[in-house]
Amino acid sequence: MAYVPDPAPTPAAPSGTSFVQRLTSRAVLAPIAAIIVFLLFWEGLVWFNEWPNYIMASPSDLPPAYSRYWELFLVMGWQTLWRTVVGLLLAVVVGVIIGMIMGFSRTMRDALYPLLVGFNAIPKATLVPIVALLFVGQHDFNTVLIAFLISFFPIAVSISIGLSTLEPEYRDILRALGASQTTIFWKIALPKTLPEFFGALKVAVTLAFIGTNLMEIVSPHGRGLGALFDSGKTNSDYPLMFAVLIALAILGIALYYVVVALEKIFAGWAERAPS
């Protein structure tokens, strides 16, 4: 049978192209154009309806807000960022452990699954006041905890499904050579599960980010972008509130694409797999 050649390289990926070429490529220009159209539409909407500042801020209100509070944005943005990342790392560690337990043992899967699903069904906003009351004043801890609680579920499920659906032949080729369970896990089960894991991580990173902000907005005298948003609300500083929203969006995009980059590095092989 004929050898199937490499698929044509995507425009953004090849290392051979120059930086300028990459900047002008469709993958970069198209989203920038979309953002500009979106901002123009927003500005136009506010201008057309003659909405005052205290009903709806417009994009032109944002630069003054940023230049006035830029120090606060840096400090608070950092708070939100590290709390999200720590919560997410915790979710990865615990999610992978739970996923491994459920993936390797049928009994544990049957036992834990309803519990996990039930826990996942609870709206996490209801956990926020409970956690805030449990650990009064522990802002960092509370925020990380909520980020973790809200995001570990998809990771646990993806790992358990990835491991439990491993075809027996994959196990057998190594088992027949006398390989230990640990070797089979590192050489086959783990790499084979990575694409599913990263799919779940993309969901989890957004969830963790939402969890962090939920807690930051609710806890009194808190820190982070959520708290900055809350102070904008208290002072009826609408441009500040919108500036926070945009900052959150940018941070969210950055976090998401970090995960995408990690996925490319560790599970890039899955993109070309036909299955």
Partner 1 sequence: MTQTIEISGVTHAYDTASGKLPVLDNLDFIVPSASFCAVVGPSGCGKSTLTKLVAGLLIPDQGKVLLDGRAVKGPRSTVGMAFQNPVLLEWRTILDNVILPLEIVPNKLTRSQKEDRARELLSLVGLEGFETKRPSELSGGMRQRASLCRAIAHKPDILIMDEPFGALDAFTREDLWQTMHRLRAEEPFTCMLITHDLRESIYLADQTIVLSDRPARVQHTMDTSMNGRTDLDVLYEQEAVEMLHVLRDQIKIAQGRAEDAQAAQ
Question: Which residues in this chain contact partner 1 in the complex, by CB under 8 A?
Answer: 1-6, 167, 169-170, 172-179, 183, 187-188, 191-192, 194, 267, 269-270, 272-274
Using CA atoms, how far apart are residues 10 and 26, in angstroms rounded to an integer? 10
Question: In whole angstroms, how close is the CB of 183 to partner 1 at the nearest point?
Answer: 7
Q: Which is nearer to partner 1, 183 or 235 (CB)?
A: 183
Comparing CB distances to partner 1, the nearer of 18 and 182 is: 182
Least distance to partner 1, CB of residue 274, Å = 5
> Which of 50/167 has CB closer to partner 1?
167
Nearer to partner 1, 193 or 219 (CB): 193
Shortest CB 113 distance to partner 1, Å: 20
Distance CA 8, CA 58 (A): 43
| Rounded distance between C-alpha atoms, residue 151 and residue 18, angstroms | 38
Token output for 132: 């805030």
Shortest Cβ 175–partner 1 spacing (Å): 6
Alpha-carbon gap, residue 141 to 137, rounded angstroms: 9
HSE-CB at 226 with a 13 A cutoff on CA atoms is 23
The two three-digit tokens of residue 177, written as one number: 């050579």
CA–CA dist 8, 140 (Å, integer): 47
Least CB distance to partner 1 at residue 250 (A): 33
Nearest-approach distance from CB 197 to partner 1, in angstroms? 13
Residue 70 has which token pair? Answer: 């830029």
The residue (of 67 and 275) whose beta carbon lies closer to partner 1 is: 275
Smallest distance, partner 1 to C-beta of residue 263, A: 13
Token pair recorded at residue 31: 């989203």
d(CA 214, CA 227): 10
Closest to partner 1 by CB, 66 vs 170, is 170
Q: What is the CA radius of gyration of the chain?
A: 23
CB 169 to partner 1: min, Å: 5
- For residues 61 and 42, give the distance between their C-alpha atoms in angstroms, rounded to a whole number: 12
Q: Hey, what amino acid is at 69?
A: Y
Smaller CB distance to partner 1: residue 5 or 114?
5
The residue among 72 and 174 lying less far from partner 1, judged by its C-beta, is: 174
Residue 244, amino acid? V
Amino acid letter for position 117: V
Distances (CA, A) of 209 to 50, 184, 205, 233: 34, 34, 6, 20
